[in-house]
Amino acid sequence: MRYDSDDFTFEEIRCVTMGNAFVSKIHVVRGSGRVDVFLWSLLDSREPGEGAPWTSIGDVSLDDSVLLARWDTAWPGEVAPDRSGIEAEAARGQGTMRDALPVWLAFGANAPRQSHTVNLAQRHDESPLYELSVLPSKLRDGHLPGDFKLRVGVPPVEGLVHMVAQYRVEAGRPLTLACGSGLSDAAARSSLSDALENDPVEASGRSWRSFFASVPQFRSSDPYLTNAYWYRWFGLRLNTVDLPDYRLMTEGGMAEAGPFVTEGIGFFRNFVSYSAQAHLREVSWMHDPRLAAGILDNLAAVQRRDGSFPGHNYAARPPRDFYHTDFGTPIRQLLALHSEAVDRSHLGMLRRYADYLLRNRTLSKDPADPTLYDVFDQNETGQEYMSRYQFASERADRWESFRVSGVDATVYAERTFSALAEFRFVASPYGAFADGARRGFVERAWDPSASFFCDVNAEGVKSPARPATGLYALLVPGLEEQSREAVNRWLADPDEFWLPSGFPATAKSDATFSAEGEWRDRRTNCPWNGRSWPMANSHLVDGLARLARATGDTDLRRLAGEALLKSVRLMFHDGDSGRPNSFEHYDPLSGQPALYRGYDDYMHSWVVDLILRHACGVVPGSRMVDPLPIGAEVEFDGILDGNGGVFGGGTKS
């Protein structure tokens, strides 16, 4: 960023270090003389109390070089969340407030601090404007007064804390300002000092280059594929949490957390089980399995006593919700690429989850018989606002409970049982349960008159809704005959799912369909009644590719290649191959992303994995390749073969 005045031109470079320091590096491009720079932080101060959450600045202290502050966050023991997908979640809390989680902030610079002020003020406009700071009144003769007024004023003692430090920058001597952060004062100070001791911008660049060298290399003559591939690796690292002493709140207390990838930024920056299944697919390709193993370790740590996984997991807030997931498929892949990363505890975790499904998610007396698995509300599948749920209950979109056998839930169950049967290498009941789910698709969910896999209610009635989840059955072996019909009738139909820019989450002919994201004529934040979601697209591309390879059908292979390209090209601004993005959902007609949500870098899908397995054709854990026809050249290298070696190659298809 550049700033110009009559006498000076400044350049500012910002970055966040691997040590969790926020850095601003300023140097004088033009001009000479004294220039004062003020580091200003404005934090909330509240008296101890309740809230969902309660947040406040805690202690503040100064020494010769560091301004140190503690930021506290506390949640009540029980929380009833608002699941409407809004950023300012209107959660309601009950019970005793839990202990606060402190995050320490250490402010400093690579130059001497000239002066400072710490002032508590009544609440006011928080815009980052000079006029709203304390500088107009506090700055006298070029200096701040050095006062410290934190716990002052008439009770209740609360408001906004202005923390301001003054520094100088000169031509030829760049000024680096930084805020180090950590879960202790020592960690925050270390974060700050590491950022100031070396050139943080250059160090950040080296760190990113090292990261990109630690994953399979990829290039394509199709710039969309190349840029989507590398942008996804950027997003995965950007959203990785890897902190010493970080803990997750679990049903049994606090548990040490390994590294993991968050679902996204802001509201979504937590450990989400539904997205973790996608992250495992992606990071299994890394040369170092530590991140993948960390995700599995965290799943084992947060798993409930009944075997289910909480949907959302936090450090200071109780875990909540439940999502149907398929961890069998990514664990299979991780075993093929990094057999040492998966141990008995991880397989035991998967078995306990499978047993939870058998106990709680089916009404079948014998799951070896034709069986489907049940969804209890519109949150459990990571989707909401769809006609598939209104079929189950007219009040489903009011977040009320229901019971319906879901195609997606049954796909995930079948994939879980199949993986467990494979891991055992001996006679296992899970093989029979997987077969029961496959028979359930054929005998209970398949509607031959509609050529569609349907959700089924408790009375055995098939749903008339046509969600994309009905096509998730393409992922299941043994359903090739029905899956071909579903592809020809629905997925490949340009008036249903094969829309100009993306695959809608609900068929275009559905009465509730809205490409603009409206449900009951109101634009909603997370609509699944017509928007194109990368998460759904990942399932559809994978399912179509599996079907094409299983049948050897050249037309299906061509269609699967086109589906891969369609899902990738959706994730670019205005069709510009140089502007990749990753939003929650898109208009399937125009390709416009959900800009109104503001959530780019949303890691709720798999992209790297699709490109490596389908554009390159890599079969995980081997040197075999079977690429889909995509009409482009690809080159790849640094692929693990599962036997301690790496290989590369290239194809033109």
pLDDT tens profile 425-468: 667 899 999 999 999 999 999 999 999 999 999 999 999 999 99
- Contact call for residues 605 and 537 (beta carbons, < 8 A): yes
pLDDT at 88 (0 to 100) = 47
For 196, how many CA atoms within 13 A lie in the half-sphere containing its CB?
A: 21
- Contact call for residues 288 and 259 (beta carbons, < 8 A): no
- 3-state DSSP assignment of residue 400: coil
pLDDT at 94 (0 to 100) = 58
Burial of 382 (0-12, 13-18, 19+ CB in 10 A): buried
Mean pLDDT rounded to a whole number for the chain: 95
* N residues, the chain: 653
DSSP 475: G
- 3-state DSSP assignment of residue 444: helix
pLDDT at 96 (0 to 100) = 82
Residue recorded with tokens 């084992």: 300
- Contact call for residues 377 and 400 (beta carbons, < 8 A): yes
- Contact call for residues 602 and 268 (beta carbons, < 8 A): yes
Rounded-to-integer distance, Cα 635 and Cα 608, Å:
14
Joined together, the tokens standing for residue 175 give 């000024």
Helix, strand, coil % (nearest 5) of the chain?
Answer: 35, 25, 40
DSSP 575: G
| Residues of the chain with confidence (pLDDT) below 50 | 87-88
Rounded-to-integer distance, Cα 615 and Cα 631, Å:
10
Query: What dihedral do alpha carbons 12, 14, 19, 20 form, nearest 10°?
Result: 130
Burial of 381 (0-12, 13-18, 19+ CB in 10 A): buried
Q: Is the pTM of this model over 0.75?
A: yes
pLDDT at 376 (0 to 100) = 97
CA-based Rg of the chain, rounded to a whole angstrom?
27
pLDDT at 93 (0 to 100) = 58
**How far is C-alpha 467 from the geometric centre of its chain's CA atoms?**
23
Query: CA separation (Å) from 337 to 287, 291, 350, 418, 590?
Result: 9, 14, 19, 19, 38
Burial of 495 (0-12, 13-18, 19+ CB in 10 A): exposed
Max alpha carbon distance in the chain (Å)?
Answer: 85
pLDDT at 97 (0 to 100) = 87
Which of 651, 195, 488 lies closest to 497 in space, CA to CA? Answer: 488
Query: CA separation (Å) from 377 to 90, 234, 400?
Result: 20, 34, 7
Which of 176, 168, 135, 166 lies closest to 12 in space, CA to CA? Answer: 176
Q: Could you tell me which residues come within 8 angstroms of residue 343 by beta carbon, excluding any fewer than 6 positions away? A: none
